[in-house]
Amino acid sequence: MSNIGFIGLGAMGKPMVKNLIKAGHKLVLYDKYAKFDELLALGAEAAASCKELASRSEIIITMLPSSPHVKETILGENGVIEGIKKGTVVIDMSSGSPAVSEELCAALKAKKAAFLDAPVSGEELNAIDGTLAIMAGGEKAVFDKMKPLLEKMGSSVILTGDTGAGNVAKLANQIIVALNIAAISEAFILAAKAGVKPQLVFDAIKGGLAGSAVMNAKLPSILEGNFKPGFRIELQIKDLQNALDAAHNLNVPLPLTASIMETLQALKADGFSARDHSAIIRYYEKLAKIEVRK
C-alpha cells in the first residue's frame, strides 16, 4: 500500500484518515493546530513539518479550511514543495479557488509532481461512513490512478475536467445548497405564518418535485431548533465568496448568490458564524417574527 501524507486533521480529515488506515495504507500526518493522538494509536505516524511529510510520502492529501491555508501548506516555508519527491501526487480535497488550484498545479509540475483538486460534498457523518461525493479536476491518467484511493473516502468519485474543474463543481454545489436552504426557509416561514404545521407541509411535499436531499437533510433539524454545525455559516460564506470571485473573473453575474451572501453576512453580524448553514432560516424568522418548529 502507498505511503500517504495527510495534512488537515479536523472534523472531516480525521475520519477520512481512519478510512485510509482501515484500507491498509501507511499514513504520515501533520496538522499545525489539531491533536491527533487517536490516529497515532491506530498506527499512523507524525511529521514535524509539511516539508518532512512530503519527503516521506508518495501521495499527499490536504483537507484544509480554504485556499490560503492550502497555498501556505504547499508553497510556504517548510512547505510540501520543499520536500516533495519526483512522481508524488498531491490531492487537495479542500474547497477553494479554481485559480489557486491552477497555480499549485503549475508549481508542482515544475517539481515533476502531479496535482488533483478533489473537493468533497458531505458532512462529518459522510466522512465517517466513507460516503463523501468527490469531484476532481486534473489529468485523467493521474485521476484514474488515484480513483481507487479516493473511493476509500467517497461513494461518488467523478472527474469533472482539467485542473480547477473540481473546485468549479464544488462552487456550483455550494450555490445550489445555499439557495435551496433559503428557498426552504421562505416556504416554511410562509407555512408557519399561515398557521399550517411545518411538519405536515414537509410530509406533503417531500415526495414531489419540491423534494430534495437538502430539505430531507436540513429541515428535521430546523424543526427541532437544532443548528449544531455540520457545515458552518462561516464556511458557506467562504465558498460563496470564491464562487462570486470566479464568476466575476468570467463576467458571469450571480444575482441570487449575491443576495444569499448578504443574508449570510447578516447572520454573521448576529453571531451565527459557527452555526450550521441551516440557520439561514433564522434570518427569515427574525424578519417574520415567527419560528419554524414542530
Which residues have a catalytic role annotated?
170
The closest alpha carbon to 6, from 107, 124, 90, belongs to: 90
DSSP assignment string, 27-89: EEEE-SS---HHHHHTT-EE-SSHHHHHHT-SEEEE--SSHHHHHHHHHSTT-HHHHPPTT-E
3-class SS of residue 18: helix
For residue 232, give the C-alpha cell: 458552518
Owner of C-alpha cell 517539481:
111
Decide if 256 contacts 179 (C-beta within 8 A).
yes
What contacts 46, CB < 8 A, 6 or more positions away? 28, 29, 30, 36, 40
Whether 58 contacts 4, CB under 8 Å: yes
DSSP string, 196-235: --HHHHHHHHTTSTT--HHHHHHHHHHHHT----SSBHHH
Tell me how many degrees the CA angle 234-237-243 measures, rounded to the nearest 5: 150
Total residues belonging to the chain: 294
CB of 289 closer than 8 Å to CB of 223 = no
Per the CB < 8 A criterion, the answer to whether 170 and 119 are in contact is yes
